[in-house]
Amino acid sequence: MRQDAKALYAIAKDPTIGPMAGWLPHDDISATKRYIERSLRKEKHGQTLTFAIIHKTDNTLIGTLELYNIIPYFKADIGMICAKAYQNQGYMREATLAIIIFVFETLKLMRLTYGHFLDNEPSKRLREKLNFSYEGILRNYYKRYDGKIVDYAISSFTAEDYHYYFETIFKPFKTTLSITT
């Protein structure tokens, strides 16, 4: 992901992207490079896995997807960002479906948790499209970079959900995958 610093900075500096994920937009590329280095250190210790989402036709980085708070063979949390120009086109749904397959088939986890701020409508729609089970609101859960305390909607997708939807969603989707490392 180091080679993607410039492309990731173009996304992370957008004033509408970071706040929806709870962080301050990056004011220069050094902030993005620090984020990448921090992610790589966490990955080395098994705390996170960060995936670049690359557009198939022009090989452009259009977003990231991260698994964090990983507890092996048990659970992880998922978070993502997507460049404004690529939102609402199905790319995040496709990337998240691929990660769900990875979570339950490769990592053998039992639970994937998806949270978002209540005012993050794109994340809410994505959660609904992916059939995550809405569990409720964690009140006064998150302190944003600006000091504001906000509520957080929490949902989950379990190994049981994966097996339930396998034939209708995941098996057909797997035939379309072209994953590179």
- Cα–Cα distance for residue pair 165/161, rounded to 1 Å: 6
Domain ranges (residues) in the chain? 2-174
List per-residue pLDDT tens for the chain, 181 residues long: 556 799 999 999 999 998 988 889 999 999 999 999 999 999 998 889 999 999 989 899 999 999 999 999 999 999 999 999 999 999 999 999 999 999 999 999 999 999 999 999 999 999 999 999 999 999 999 998 888 999 999 999 999 999 999 999 999 999 887 655 4
Q: What string of H, E and C letters represents the secondary structure of 130-156?
A: CCCEEEEEEEEEEECCCCCEEEEEEEE
For residue 146, the model assigns a pLDDT of 87
CATH fold of the domain at 2-174: Aminopeptidase (3.40.630)
For residue 56, the model assigns a pLDDT of 87
Over the range 132-163, which residues count as b (16 or more CB within 10 Å of their CB) and which as e?
Answer: beeeeeeeeeeeeeeeeebebbbbbbbeebbe
* pTM recorded for the entire structure: 0.91
CA 33: distance to chain centroid? 19
